[in-house]
Structures are given as C-alpha cells and as structure tokens.
Structure 1
Amino acid sequence: MAVVVRMPSVLAGATEAAIAHWLVSPGDRVSVGMPLAEIETEKALVEYAAEEAGVVGRLVLGEGDTAEIGEPIAVLLVAGETDADAEMALGLPGPSAAVAPGAPVVAPDSAASTGPGSATAPSAAPETNVHALPGGRIFASPLVRKLAGQRGIDLTGLAGTGPHGRIVRRDLERYLAAGPGASAVHASVSAVAPAAGPSAPLSETAPGREAERAPVRESALEAAQTEGDGTTPAGETLIPHTPMRRAIARRLTESKATVPHFYLTAECVVDELLALRARVNETSPVKVSVNDFVIAAVAAAFGDVPEANVTWTDEGLLQHRHVDISIAVATDSGLVTPVLRGVEGMRLSAIARESVDLARRARDRKLRQHEIEGGSFAVSNLGMYGTAEFSAIINPPQSGILAVGAARQQPVVVDGALAVATVMRCTLSVDHRAIDGALAARWLAAFSARMENPLAAVI
C-alpha cells in the first residue's frame, strides 16, 4: 500500500520546515534508514531518513518549498503500484480527473450541458492554469489555504506552479508581491467566478497576469502581513523576516517576559592568559583563541561551584552532571548557539577544534539536530568587535549566559601602586528562579580566578 511521507518535526517547537535538497528521485528504491532529503528548519539543515521501505513514487514538494509539520512531502509505493495509487494516497482525483502538469483545466460551463443542439462546445470553455478539483475545490496546499484564510484571499483565480498545478506558498507570495492593484483585480474576478465556473480566467492584460510574471520576492507573504496593506513608504525598503529571525525574536521575547534576569559584572586581568595563549600557539597544531580560554574557565568554574550548574523546571531544579556550553555564533541569517558537550573533560585543543567546527557548520546551516539543543549555559563574545561591555539575554531553558567584552589596557591599582594591565569585562546574566545572587557571585568569582590563573583552568 502506498505510504505518504510527511514533513517531520526535526526541531522541537518548529511549525514548518522546507525541503533544502532531495537525496532521492522518483523511481529510486529506498530502505529504512536511507536518507531521503535535507530538511531546513529555523536553525539547521537536518538529514531526514526513510522510516519505511518502498519505491519513490512522487515528490510532492520541490526543493525550496515550505510545508507545515505533518504535511505530505513524498509518496512511497510498493511493488505493482502505479502513479494512480500515489494520487489516491494523497487524496487527489484519479487519473481520469487529474490534469497533467502544464495542461489547461476546462472549467465547468452550464451552457455546455444544456442538451443537444447547444451551440457552445466544451472546447470553447475558458481555460486557466488553476487546478480545480471536481466540485469546485481548489487544489492548494493546507498551508496556503490557512494563510489565504488569514489574509482573506480567495484562491479561485490563482495560478498554481506546484506539482500537477497545485497552488503552493510561492504562488501566494507572488500574488501578494504584486501589490494592491492585483488584489483589486483578483477580488473582482472572485466575485464573478461562480457564474463562469471556479476556474474562470484572468484577463491577459489585467494586473493579475503581471503578478504571474512578477519575480517572486523572498517571504513576500510575511512582508505583506507585516506591512498590513502590502505597501512600504516611498524611498524605504522592507527586508522580509527569515524563519530564523522570527525564531530568535520569539524566543528572546519569551525569555525577557518570563525569565527574571539579574546581572553581575567582573573585571578580569588577562595579561597572563594572553601570554600563555601566545606560547601555546607557537607549538600547537590547533590555534587557540581567547574565547577557548573563556570556555575552559567557565567549565572549571562550574567544577568549583557545581551547585550553580542547574536549570529551572516547574517540578524542581535540574542538577547537571556535565558542563554543556552553548557558543553564540553570528551567521548571515542570525544568531545560532551550537552546544559543546562535556567541556569539563576536554583539553584546550579539543575545545578549540570543536568550536571552530561547530561555528563553520553553523554558518553553513549544516548543524545536526542534537548539536543545537540542550546546554545549561552559554557564552557570547563580542570582544573581537571592540565592544567593551554588554549584557546578554538568556536562552531558555538555560540558567545563564556570560557576555564577554574586549581585552583592553587600562590603569589598575596593584598593592597600592598605579599600574597598567589588560582587563576584560565579563557580565553574567542569571535566571533568578534557579540561582540566587550570592551563588551567582561565587561562580563569577571562581570564573575570574580561573581567567587570571589560566594554567589552572586548562590542566
């Protein structure tokens, strides 16, 4: 029996995902565990493997297409089954009612069925690219129907460019990108559609046709939802939100609204750390950064103050046995926080090697699911940009994040005498539900001591 493969929930909390790359083609035989596609989520590119064996009968979505979690993306057939079985599994009309890709749909015409002697032949009925199913139901993805309903858009006159003429998200985005003129024309077409049949065509010279030829603007649907009327002020440019940017906005808004933050700042004298780094990099095959020393000092501080290695849950405080640290990585799409696991047992060179690998794959959107989930603490370093000091927002369910500034020379008092030292300001953001002020202060003091005596943090 044909099996419908559905968009998987590859990332906790995701509501939709996109097909980045298909790893199979129609006709390919697949076994359980064989990679089918690379699924792009808000934060990562995840390889999705087949959960059942069969032959690829149909790829419902093209590369780059987006669908809600649980929506069909492909159909697997068993021996002896045909494309008709794939149509049936998807709930589509049989071959006799289906429309071949690119072929026009003949709209139902009451005049064509008035009986013998009628002057109107079926071939004279209006044509369009819209794929209407028997009974007038429009062939559109559930996501498109949902979004169109939210915007009050009638899909009757829209052209579908998906498989077998299906109206997919990019078609709705193209329509919205055409602006208010197309909306007005579409409204008038929709108003007369019942008299002419569900697939009444748009005029060849109407703006609606221009909408079909207009270039697709990235995430135009989201842009229109943000703009309200689909327009932007003269001379200004609207940059549509990416899924990652929306995810960042949602999570950080939730964090500031639900997590009681408080902040502590320490000034660490790092001359000895910088000298040790220079000596290490003279011989080490892996170049070590200042941030690698910071991560090692964070892990060592949790060893000194293990009661701070906790996260808040509704049932109680979750005490962690290992130190799993998220490292903030800036990418073209936004901030990504892959997790270094078991840092308390890692050598400095291993921290450096894994940090570089995670950062590179974060920028390439090649992180795996388990690499972006979990962690009890995070480090965000803006020192390389010259930032002296800043406060970071906690990424729930983590209990803290350390914001690291630039190392700068400044006057300091040593044993009552004025001197010059290289000082790094580090600000700790803490979830007050899980960690009290005194405990946070003890942890920050332990971190500062490890930074100022770096050899103890890395051996």
Structure 2
Amino acid sequence: MVIPKMAQMVRCRIGYFTLKCSNRVVPRVFLPLKYQRLCFHTSWLLNVRGKEVLMPSLSPTMEAGTIVKWLKKEGEKIEPGDAIADIQTDKAVITMEYDDEGILAKIIIQEGAKDIKVGQLIALTVEPDEDWKSVELPSSTSIPSAASVSVSSESTESATPPPGQQNLAMPALSPTMTSGTIVKWLKKEGDEIEPGDAIADIQTDKAVMTFEIDDEGVLAKIISSEGSQVEVGQLIAIIVEKGMDWKNIVLPTTTAPVKSSAPAPSVSKPAATAAPAGLKPPSSGQVYGLAVKRLLEEYGLSSGQIKGTGRVNRLLKSDVLSYIQTNNVQKVKLEAVSPKTTKADAASRISAAAGKPSSYEDIPVSNIRAVIAKRLGESKSTIPHSYSTIDVKLDKLIDIRKKLKVENIKVSVNDFITKAVAHALLECPDINTLYQNGQIIRIPRVDISIAVATPTGLITPIVFDTVSKSLPEISETIKELAYKAKEGKLKPQEFQGGTFTISNLGMFGIKEFSAIINPPQTAILAVGSGREELDSSISPITRMTVTLSYDRRAISEDMAADFLAVLRAMLEEPTFLAVKRARNFMNQVE
C-alpha cells in the first residue's frame, strides 16, 4: 500500500500504525501479511531487509569452507575492499574481501563452523544510513544444523559466559580435523596472554600445530589436560579479561573434561529396559557423534530406543544420559559383549596367571596415521588405479651432479627428478589434473607434493610453482619442508593442495614399488633406487625404475606413456635442468 506524500515505502510487522506527515495525521491502516514481503524501508521504525553475504568459492576445487575468524564485528562499517573474514578452504586459509560499502549487521555463521557450503548465507549487511540493529533475518535462510557444524554436543550447549569471560573451544586447525590431542599447554593458569601468544601445542590429523590467541587476557582455567583427545568445538579452557579475578569464574554446567566418564546411575538395581547384548533394537537412523556412540556401546543401548531432541534428527549426549538415569540402565560388562574368548585373551590370561609379562603390546594409533589409513583405504576402494613402469639411465645425471658439487652446488638425485617431473607435467598437462565431482580439473600451475616420512606418519609438503624454481632452490625448499614436517611445524598452507605427488624410496634401497594416489590428485610417481647393471654392449650403467600410478577415470594409458617418455628423456639428458646455475661448465657435458 502506498501512502501519498511519503518519502518511502514501509512494511509493518504489527499491522496497525500511525504516522505524522507534515501537518497531517495518517490514520492507522492494516497491511496484510502477504504484502509485507513486497515492501522495504530504510527507517529505524521498522525492520531492515539486509543484503545477503554468501560463502564464496575461494579456490577452483572448493565446495565448502570453515569460518576461521571474523575480522569485522556486528555494527562495524565496511569499506570497499575491506577484509571481513578468514576462511579455510580445501587449500589454505584465505581472506574474504567485501566489494561494497555498508555495515556488518548480522553474523549468521559463527567462528569455527565447518563444512559451510559454497553459496550458503553467512552474514547480512545493510546500507551505511540504515539501522543495522533492526536487520531482519530472511525467512528462507538455511542455518547449518548441528550435524553440519563440527561442534561437540556435550560442550556447545553451555550457557553464555558472563561479561569478561571467554570460553575457549578446540579450534579446527585443518580442513579435515574433527578432533585434536592437546600435546602441551604453553601457558599456566593465571598467566597473562598477549595478542599473538601461543597457548598450546595441538596434534591434528596432519601435524602438531601451535594454537595462538588474538586477544589479550588471563588464562583462568584449563578444562582439558595434556594428552586429552578433544573434539573440535569442545571447551578446553576459559580466559578472562585482565584485571578480573581469574580464580572467580563461572564453569559451564554441561561441559566436562574429555576423559571424564559418564555419570553412574544413582540406583544400582538392574534395568528392565536395557537391551541384552547382541539383541539391541534396530537403529533409528538418527545422527549422533562419537561421545553418544561410546555411551550407547557402554550401556548396551541402540539409538532406536531413545528419541533425540537435537535439530535434524540428531541424538544428543544429554538425551542418552537422561534415558540412562530415568531407566536406571547399568553398564554392560565386557565379558557379556564378546561372544567367545579369543586366543589372544586366553594367552594373556595364562601369562598373567603364570606371573609372566604379556606377549603383545598395544600401540596407540596417532591421529595422522588414523587419517592416512582412512584416506588410503578410500583411495584404493574408490579410484581405479592403473600402473605404468619405465627404466631410466642416470649416468649423465650423476655426471652433472658431480660437476655441480665441484662448483659447491649440492643437489640430490631427487631434486633432479622433482625438476624433471615439473617440466614433464608442463609438457603433458593431462597428468597435472584433479578429479572432483565427476569432473577433470586441469590446473595451470605445477605444485608438486613430496612425500616425507615422520615419526607420526606420512605427510606431503608442497613445492609450489616448481617449474619456476632452479635446482638449488628446489633442494633448499625440500630440505626446509622435510625438517618442518619431522618437527611437526608445517603450516596448513604448506601441505594442503598440490597437483602431483612424488614418493621416493630409493634412499632406502627399494628397487621398485607402486604408490597409492592422493585424491583429488590423479597421479603419483614412485621412485626406486639407482642400481648398476650391464647394457647390451656389456658396459656398466646406472638404471632407475619409476612407476606412475594414475586414475584411469582421468588419465588413459597413452597419456601415461607420453608423460613417462618425456620424463625419461629429461632425466637421461638433464643438461637444461641445471642450466640456470651451471652455465660455465654445461658445454663440457657433451
């Protein structure tokens, strides 16, 4: 409805209103609900329809992202080109910039929320002259459920902390991280924290990384002790502002340390409603986390027995605990769960009875090894692997390497291989690809991942833009990355991504092997050791075997053969690979 002589259109949520315009009084009118959505306004009197800010696509392969940090707060003004948030993609942490001016009115997706799909609403902005406090949330907004935000149900339902107190949750330090282990606290309770201070070393599924705090304050309470494995989003510590009494804090009632056991029922009589072991009711299809799964197993319950109260058919830990307490459910004994005694159990009991030490040792699997096992299994079961093997003569390469060493340029055979692979990928772009969502994505830049063995598992740091680097630069980069990997100091952007992988076991004396593809890459090169042989003229030569594992969905046999032929030609005539830093004696090679 349009009111004469009014400078703007209005929408009324209440339905009746009275306005004074000039010297006239506009009578109260009723605006039907179906017409309210057709109007907008810029007045402080009514709610403002905000401008949607969607999760951007910050890399060619990005499907979802994690909000690492909001760089603007609600109510702050945004100028064109301002950075408003740090977003973790499938490649690295990238800063999201805003192209228009306005005011950040409402943050929809909070920091730490994982797997936010590209195109999903994450915030609302308004024009600079609008009242940002009255912004209206669109009715079609899809706010991620508890299943899509990787936050533990046992820690996020705590009450809002009092003013001056900040509840610190386990951060997501890598795109694939679902839980982490607190290796060491670098601050003690009562220690002051300055912006940028490191407070803890946390082992993710990739490496041991340092957790830094951007605000100042005092570490008031450590919730999760060293060695605790904590799910992303679960409370690990409490921080208060400087000047506050850090000993006087409010602990969330629904949050407990990770390793604490579930509360025992107050009545010890048997539960009539508990299902016997092996006869549990069928699962209800409800979504639940690891903490809920552990409780169900400990008490012999099935998700079909308990009605979840979480959003999107989610079963919460509080639902299970309430059911256990209401029905006086007792924990299931371990002997009742196992259908029969295994040989290992019998052997351990005999050893214990005889006073002898056990004949086996349980070695805990690190987060990194667990993730490697999962991904390698997925790779072998979902990617149709094909293999092509070729032999390469290394005599000229070894000769050039010796001459470079005389010039005090120390490079390894692996450095030559990395350089040659980069140029071969440039010549054969069909190998430098990714396979995602049923599509082959050709990457223009060559970023080679180098497999490095560490005490906690295998990791693949990346030599970015390998083609543009000289042999000494490649050598120095690989040494630095290998050192960081073994010390657990790699940054996420140093091992996330890559377009091709090299796995070299030649230094361990391995003659030949096949490597498993690291998705979404489509190929990996396995390099064996050099060995002395006799050629057809009974002359001694040094030969090396390389095997290309490739995704048959993206790479055909002829493409793989072309790549290996180009690679062999470059390694057998490696003059141009060293030309940047060895021009003074390259003419002597021929």
Report the TM-score, using the length of structure 2 for normalisation.
0.53
Partner Cα separation in structure 2 for residue 403 and residue 307 of structure 1: 19
Which of 24, 48, 55 matches 2:187? Answer: 24
Partner Cα separation in structure 2 for residue 361 and residue 332 of structure 1: 12
Question: Where in structure 1 are there 5+ consecutive unaligned residues?
Answer: 94-106, 110-141, 155-189, 199-223
Partner Cα separation in structure 2 for residue 229 and residue 367 of structure 1: 43
Which of 367, 372, 383 matches 2:495? Answer: 372
Structure 2 partner of 1:280: 404
Which of 41, 47, 62 matches 2:225? Answer: 62
The amino acid of 1:252's aligned partner reads L
Structure 2 partner of 1:47: 210
Partner Cα separation in structure 2 for residue 38 and residue 50 of structure 1: 12
Q: Is the 8 A contact 2:431 2:523 kept in 1?
A: no
Change (3 A) 1:278 1:153: farther
1:87 aligns with 2:250: yes
Partner Cα separation in structure 1 for residue 532 and residue 392 of structure 2: 11
Percent identity of the aligned residues?
34
Shift in Å, 1:153: 5.8
Structure 1 partner of 2:512: 389
Which of 390, 399, 423 matches 1:266? Answer: 390
Structure 1 partner of 2:311: none
Structure 1 partner of 2:200: 37
Change (3 A) 1:256 1:108: closer
Residues 66-98 of structure 1: CA distance to partner in whole angstroms, max 9, x if unpaired? 2011111111213565457633446579xxxxx
The amino acid of 1:260's aligned partner reads P
Q: Is the 8 A contact 2:390 2:547 kept in 1?
A: yes
Structure 2 partner of 1:450: 570
Which of 452, 455, 459 matches 1:329? Answer: 452
SS, match of residue 430 in structure 2: helix
Partner Cα separation in structure 1 for residue 575 and residue 441 of structure 2: 31
Q: Is the 8 A contact 2:216 2:242 kept in 1?
A: no
1:152 aligns with 2:286: no
Q: Is the 8 A contact 1:67 1:143 kept in 2?
A: no
Alignment of 1:298-447 (within 5 A): 298-314=421-437, 316-413=439-536, 417-447=537-567
Change (3 A) 1:442 1:57: same
1:243 aligns with 2:367: yes
Structure 2 partner of 1:4: 167
Residues 263-296 of structure 1: CA distance to partner in whole angstroms, max 9, x if unpaired? 11111000011111122122325x3111111111
Change (3 A) 1:229 1:30: farther
Shift in Å, 1:420: 3.0
Change (3 A) 1:108 1:78: farther
SS, match of residue 367 in structure 1: coil
Change (3 A) 1:283 1:62: farther
Shift in Å, 1:49: 2.0
Instruction: Please report the RMSD computed on the Cα atoms of aligned residues, expressed in angstroms.
Output: 3.4
Aligned residues: 347
1:78 aligns with 2:224: no
SS, match of residue 306 in structure 1: coil
Shift in Å, 1:422: 0.9
Partner Cα separation in structure 2 for residue 291 and residue 77 of structure 1: 51
Partner Cα separation in structure 2 for residue 282 and residue 53 of structure 1: 54
Partner Cα separation in structure 2 for residue 261 and residue 4 of structure 1: 47
Question: Where in structure 2 are there 5+ consecutive unaligned residues?
Answer: 1-162, 257-264, 268-287, 301-323, 331-337, 349-358, 580-590
Shift in Å, 1:393: 0.4
Q: Is the 8 A contact 1:377 1:399 kept in 2?
A: yes
The amino acid of 1:304's aligned partner reads E
Q: Is the 8 A contact 2:463 2:477 kept in 1?
A: yes
Q: Is the 8 A contact 2:392 2:572 kept in 1?
A: yes
Residues 172-201 of structure 1: CA distance to partner in whole angstroms, max 9, x if unpaired? xxxxxxxxxxxxxxxxxx99xx8xxx9xxx
Partner Cα separation in structure 2 for residue 284 and residue 72 of structure 1: 53
Whose Rg is larger? 2
More helix as a share of residues:
1
Partner Cα separation in structure 2 for residue 232 and residue 423 of structure 1: 52
Report the TM-score, using the length of structure 1 for normalisation.
0.68
Change (3 A) 1:36 1:56: same
The amino acid of 1:249's aligned partner reads A
Residues 383-417 of structure 1: CA distance to partner in whole angstroms, max 9, x if unpaired? 1222211111011111111111111122323xxx4
Partner Cα separation in structure 2 for residue 442 and residue 366 of structure 1: 38
Partner Cα separation in structure 2 for residue 46 and residue 300 of structure 1: 33
Partner Cα separation in structure 2 for residue 439 and residue 335 of structure 1: 28
SS, match of residue 307 in structure 1: coil
Partner Cα separation in structure 2 for residue 81 and residue 92 of structure 1: 22
Shift in Å, 1:151: 3.9
Partner Cα separation in structure 2 for residue 353 and residue 296 of structure 1: 13
Q: Is the 8 A contact 2:503 2:526 kept in 1?
A: yes
The amino acid of 1:387's aligned partner reads I
1:15 aligns with 2:15: no
Q: Is the 8 A contact 1:17 1:69 kept in 2?
A: yes
Partner Cα separation in structure 2 for residue 279 and residue 108 of structure 1: 80
